Amino acid sequence: MTRETWGKVREQLRASVGQNNFSAWIEPLEFSDLSDGVLTFLVPSVFMGNWVDRYFRESILTEVNAGGESVRRLAFRVRDSANDAHDPQPAREAAPEPAPREAAVSLPSFAQTGAKLDEKFTFSSFVVGKPNELAHAAARRVAEGGAVSFNPLFLYGGVGLGKTHLMHAIAWELKERSPEKRVLYLSAEKFMYRFVQALRDRDMMGFKELFRSVDVLIVDDIQFIAGKDSTQEEFFHTFNALVDLRKQVILSADCAPGDIEGMEHRIVSRLQSGLVVDLHPTSYELRLGILQSKCQYFAQQFSGVVIGDGVLELLAHRITGNVRVLEGALTRLFAHGSFMHREIDVDLAQECLRDLLRASDTRITVDEIQRKVADHFNIKLSDLLGPKRNRIYARPRQIAMYLSKNMTDRSLPDIARRFGGRDHTTIMHGIRKIDQLRVDDRQIEEDISMLRRALGGHEAPA
């Protein structure tokens, strides 16, 4: 393969990955060489190589091999880097590991049965907010490793809300506080794998001994074994044996014990006998907190990248689901910042994250808010927007102003224009008024939360 053939393949990739991805990730790759089935590129940063390898490896291999080459693997070398010039390090090895890698399980030994813990998933990197404070407190308590007070601890919640993070944090903390304790963390899938393997190797004794010899057993995503009868049965025995021995068991699932489909009734009730806590969907404040904390972490890796005012707020406002997606967005911004050498301002962020923002675009307009508020209070839209100062109009008007500020990205002057060309200080006054009233006027608080729900909004900036 030559630089030219790579140029041709690259054009194919433009079509298969899309223009945005192409300019961000494929275009900056510089062909270096191809030997022994390893295609090497020069890249601007370790991070970028890692990213491309993770997300575009398949596409690249497919296109390159379709062009008649036989490439097995990609490698990345950082270009123009003084310390790398003589001792090229493959980017994929130098880069931070993005996801926990599971240990190999060829031997039935303790260390190899568990999964590797992710170094980033500790209590200190876990941001606590209203939606997760209970789960966090319970996890902390269990991690103290004192007398077992609730067993099992059952954590549940939607994808990407921090279950795995908390479980790793517990394991790290226990290892630190009581290194003599045998703490085993693994996914339910891995549990099943070990079980099937033990059946095959006729080593059920070894299997049982192993799992019954732990001090703390942490099993992630147990919804996985529901419906898998013999695995479920064995899990139940293991679990009972440990609880009877007063050994701590910590489990997670994507829903409450009673809602796991295919989970046997007696197991469900045993699961419910401990402490069941859920991680709620994130709030705006929590998302912003997580972004701020990740920002500090990334800032060390990408020195010189500047994230402008309002960018984190934009992300927290518009990407409302999975925290993993939020992190992905931030990573992408830092990556862009680092190879474009430009401050990431709101416009650039919007451009760069267009796909993500579109997917979670539940943007509410001032117009919609005004109509909903008028409906809610049974007044005419013209009165809501008009000059009447009577409280039956003025209060709803202020609420509409308040919601417009909190549920949209509009600036005060912009909102003022949409409220019949009022002055922006009037809007500010209205918002402040509602802020004050909310504190002890239950009715207003209720009206606001009803309206928010009706508008399909998530918790908005405070």
By CB under 5 A, name the binding residues for Mg ion: 163-164
Identify the residue among 17, 127, 222, 427 touching ligand ADP (CB under 6 A).
Answer: 127
Mind giving me the DSSP string for 381-424?
HHHHHSS--SHHHHHHHHHHHHHHHHHS---HHHHHHHTTT--H
Q: How far is the CB of 164 from Mg ion (least distance, A)?
A: 3
For ligand ADP (CB under 6 A), the number of binding residues is 17
Q: Measure CA of the first residue to CA of the last residue in the chain; give whole Å.
A: 57
Q: How far is the CB of 249 from Mg ion (least distance, A)?
A: 17
Q: How far is the CB of 282 from ligand ADP (least distance, A)?
A: 8
What the block records as the tokens of 219 is 């099993």
Task: Say what the alpha-carbon torsion angle 34, 35, 41, 47 is, to the nearest 10 degrees.
Answer: 150
Residues 6+ away with beta carbon under 8 Å from 117: 100, 168, 171, 172, 185
187 vs 115: CA distance, rounded Å: 8
Identify the residue among 41, 56, 126, 211 touching ligand ADP (CB under 6 A).
Answer: 126
Q: How far is the CB of 257 from ligand ADP (least distance, A)?
A: 16
- 69-85: buried (b, 16+ CB within 10 Å) or exposed (e) per residue? bebeebbbbbbeeeeee
Q: Which stretch binds ligand ADP (CB under 6 A): 31-39, 126-134, 186-194, 433-441?
A: 126-134
425 vs 437: CA distance, rounded Å: 18
Q: Please state whether beta strands 38-43 and 30-35 pair in parallel, antiparallel, or not at all (unpaired).
A: antiparallel
Applying the rule CB under 6 A, the residues between 391 and 450 that interact with ligand ADP are: none
SS3 (DSSP) at 349: helix
436 vs 450: CA distance, rounded Å: 18
CA angle, residues 269, 272, 277, in degrees to nearest 5: 160
Say whether the peptide bond before residue 257 is cis (omega within 30 degrees of 0). Answer: no
Q: How many residues does the chain have?
A: 462
Q: How far is the CB of 99 from Mg ion (least distance, A)?
A: 10
**69 vs 254, beta carbon nearer ligand ADP:** 254
**133 vs 383, beta carbon nearer ligand ADP:** 133
Q: Does 224 bind ligand ADP (CB under 6 A)?
A: no
Q: How far is the CB of 252 from Mg ion (least distance, A)?
A: 7
Q: In the chain, count of helices (H) and strands (E)?
A: 23, 8
Identify the residue among 323, 415, 444, 455 touching ligand ADP (CB under 6 A).
Answer: 323
324 vs 402: CA distance, rounded Å: 31
**162 vs 337, beta carbon nearer Mg ion:** 162
Contact between 413 and 424 (Cβ < 8 Å): yes
Q: How far is the CB of 223 from ligand ADP (least distance, A)?
A: 12
Contacted by 290, from ligand ADP, Mg ion, none: CB < 5 to 8 Å by type: ligand ADP
Q: Does 287 bind ligand ADP (CB under 6 A)?
A: no
**113 vs 164, beta carbon nearer Mg ion:** 164
Q: Does 132 bind ligand ADP (CB under 6 A)?
A: yes
Identify the residue among 121, 172, 235, 402 touching ligand ADP (CB under 6 A).
Answer: 121
Which residue's Cβ has the minimum distance to ligand ADP? 162
**217 vs 434, beta carbon nearer Mg ion:** 217
Q: How far is the CB of 225 from ligand ADP (least distance, A)?
A: 16
Applying the rule CB under 6 A, the residues between 149 and 188 that interact with ligand ADP are: 157, 159-165
290 vs 323: CA distance, rounded Å: 8
**164 vs 231, beta carbon nearer ligand ADP:** 164
Q: How far is the CB of 115 from ligand ADP (least distance, A)?
A: 13
Catalog residues that contact ligand ADP under the rule CB under 6 A: 121, 125-127, 132, 157, 159-165, 290, 323-324, 327
